[in-house]
Amino acid sequence: MNYLADELNDILDTTVAGRLLSPLGRRLYFPKGIITQGAEAKQAAHRVNATLGMAYHQGKPLILSSLREQVPGLTPEETVAYAPTAGIPHVRTAWKNRILQHNPGLRPETFSLPVVVPGLTAGIGYAADLFVGEGNPIILSSPCWDNYELIFQERRAATMQGVPFFGADWGLDIRAIEKALEAAAATGVVRVLLNFPHNPSGYSPTTAEADALVACVKNIAQKGADVLILCDDAYFGFFYEAACLKESLFSRFAQVHERVLAIKIDGPTKEDYVWGFRMGFITFGSQGLQEKHYEALVKKLMGTIRSSVSCANTPAQYLLLKAIQDERSALEKEQYYTLLQRRYQRVKQFLAEHPEHPNLRPLPFNSGYFMSFRCVGIGAEVLRRELLTNQGIGTIALGDTYLRIAFASIDEEQIFGVYQALYDVARDLGIEGS
């Protein structure tokens, strides 16, 4: 093993993070190569910096006029230069400040400076590189986002343990989740991914449900199990009901016990309506970690970034920073939130006016971009194809049981018509199959 990896492992080995590292995670390190030497030269090479593979003229990166004209608000450095592997420092700091703003119960010393990654999908994949090894079980909700299977099962050869997070009642099936966590704790290690607002259901825990989950994890940790919690916060902030927990569960788990390592994977993709930026953040938090431990984790994370994409998109980072600093953004985001909340309320209104359907059972939803139906007596894929072919309505079938509808992409005045068509087609399919 490389001596740099050994040095990082020595720092982490007495912590929950060190114990949870996968074999790949233990091997990862950030080399003292081109990037490190280039960073040193950027600070000290006052005469000539001949390190990085970039072309300069009179101290500025070369840039095509056609590109400069398209982004007049950015300098050449902000447009075409490489970003640091962990991200632009001002962007990382701005995102940490946002996390603190949106999670007032979180103390700044209890979590790391966020690291920029090329999208939340990459962030989840990098977290898996560090902490999920071949054959490791990881608990996820069932149903869940279909990309988790590629990330954990196919890329990392982990064992996905799907737990029905939703039972007969409206809300989380807390007991089912607790039983799965307690069973995993018997092995000494628990790995769980929590995705709220949830994709595909569109549900976020209430404060009471969050308290129950935190209490369960704390109890498991106190009994001696190490717990890894991945918080996929892709849709963070889109909470439409007063009962929803308005903070990320990361803010609770990062401070609950020294045997719990929480990782927040989030970003501007949905929060700032920049889906194509392919930019996200990874943040570590644990009661038992100090600054030196976070620095070691960040270097390991930088190792997996460097060995895959090298760094995230530079102009996207600077554009996000400018959006955060622009006083117009907060008001516009509030307006967009209200727009989506009205669509959510319109869906709730339709369901309230059509309380019973023989073939469709809505999963709990109170947040996010989506809601989903459990199909009864009909196949979700058959329903999807019928809606697409004969009604011109696109939906997503998850297996043959669940149908997901992104109400965030439907104009408010169209919602009743879309859902009425869905109900009619589902009823006809149910009659045909009976």
pLDDT digits (tens, 9 = 90+) for 359-388: 999 999 999 999 999 999 999 999 999 999
Domain termination residue (choose one: 271, 290, 325)? 325
Do residue 213 and residue 261 come from a single domain?
yes
First-to-last CA distance in the chain? 63
**pLDDT score of 402:** 97
| DSSP code string of 228-296 | EEEEE-TTTT-B-STTB--S-THHHHTTT-TTEEEEEEE-HHHHTT-GGG--EEEEEE-TT--HHHHHH
Higher pLDDT, 53 or 68: 68
In a domain, 69, yes or no: no
CATH number of the CATH domain containing 312 = 3.40.640.10
Q: Using a pLDDT cut of 70, give the percent of the chain over it.
A: 97
How are beta strands 60-61 and 56-57 bridged, if at all?
A: antiparallel
Nearest to 408 by CA among 199, 247, 207: 199
DSSP per-residue letters across 359-415: SEEEPP--BSS-EEEEESSS-HHHHHHHIIIII----EEETTTEEEE-GGGS-GGGH
- CA torsion, ordered 206, 209, 213, 215, to nearest 10 deg: 110
For position 38, what pLDDT does the model report? 64
> Lowest mean pLDDT: which of 43-47, 89-93, 242-246, 281-285?
43-47
- Give percent of the chain with pLDDT exceeding 90: 91
Tokens linked to 379:
């196949």
If asked whether residues 164 and 301 sit together in one domain, one would say yes
Query: Mean pLDDT across the stretch 408-430?
Result: 97
| Domain membership flag for residue 80 | no
- As a whole number of angstroms, the distance between CA 30 and CA 261 comes to 21
* pLDDT attached to residue 341: 98
C-alpha distances out from residue 65 to 72, 73, 76, Å = 10, 14, 10
Does 94 score more than 70 pLDDT? Answer: yes
The domain that holds 373 is classified in CATH as 3.90.1150.10
Tell me which DSSP letter residue 81 carries. S
**How confident is the model at residue 193, as a pLDDT?**
98
Are residue 225 and residue 362 in the same domain, yes or no?
A: no
Within-domain flag for 106: yes
Q: What pTM, to 2 d.p., does this model score? A: 0.95
On whether residue 289 sits in a domain, the answer given is yes
- Examine residue 63 and state whether it is found in any structural domain, yes or no: no
pLDDT higher than 80, residue 206: yes
Q: What radius of gyration do the chain's Cα atoms show? A: 23
Residue where a domain stops, chosen among 325, 360, 383: 325
Integer Cα distance of 365 and 345 in angstroms: 11
Residues 212 and 282 in one domain: yes
Q: Which residue has the tokens 């895959």?
A: 308
Domain around 353? 329-433
Q: Is residue 68 part of a domain?
A: no
| Confidence tier at 32 by pLDDT (50, 70, 90) | confident
pLDDT band at residue 127 using 50, 70 and 90 as cut-offs: very high
Q: What is the DSSP string of 11-26?
A: HHTTSHHHHH--HHHH
Please state the rounded mean pLDDT for residues 63-67.
95
Return the SS3 of 314.
Answer: helix
Virtual CA dihedral for 63, 64, 69, 74, nearest 10 degrees? Answer: -20
Q: What is the mean pLDDT of residues 336-351?
A: 98
| Structural domain includes residue 271 | yes
316/333 same-domain check: no
The mean of the pLDDT values for the chain is: 95
The pair of structure tokens assigned to 282 is: 């990874």
**Residue 230 is which amino acid?**
L
Q: Using one digit for the tens of pLDDT, what is the confidence trace for 69-91? A: 999 999 999 999 999 999 999 99
Nearest Cα residue to 206 out of 191, 215, 196, 194: 196
In the chain, DSSP finds a helix count (H) and a strand count (E) of 18, 13
Q: In this structure, are 342 and 297 located in the same domain?
A: no
pLDDT of residue 168: 83
Mean pLDDT score, 328-351: 98
User: Are 240 and 336 in the same domain?
Assistant: no
pLDDT value for 39: 67
Are 270 and 231 members of one domain? yes
Distance CA 30, CA 128 (A): 17
CB 154 within 8 A of CB 125: no
Do residues 120 and 265 share a domain?
yes
Output the six-digit token pair for 334. 């509030």
47 pLDDT exceeds 90?
Answer: no
Q: Say yes or no: 274 and 334 in one domain.
A: no
Structural domains counted in the chain: 2
Q: Are residues 139 and 250 in the same domain?
A: yes
Looking at 309, 325, 341, which one is the last position of a domain?
A: 325
The pLDDT of residue 35: 65
* Structural domain includes residue 176: yes
pLDDT in tens, 215-273: 999 999 999 999 999 999 999 999 999 999 999 999 999 999 999 999 999 999 999 99
Taking the C-alpha atoms of residue 215 and residue 233, their distance in angstroms, rounded to an integer, is 21
Q: pLDDT: is 168 or 199 the higher one?
A: 199
380 residue type, one letter: A
Instruction: Let me know whether 255 and 334 are in one domain.
Output: no
Q: What pLDDT sits at residue 432?
A: 80
Closest CA to 202 of 351, 31, 372: 372
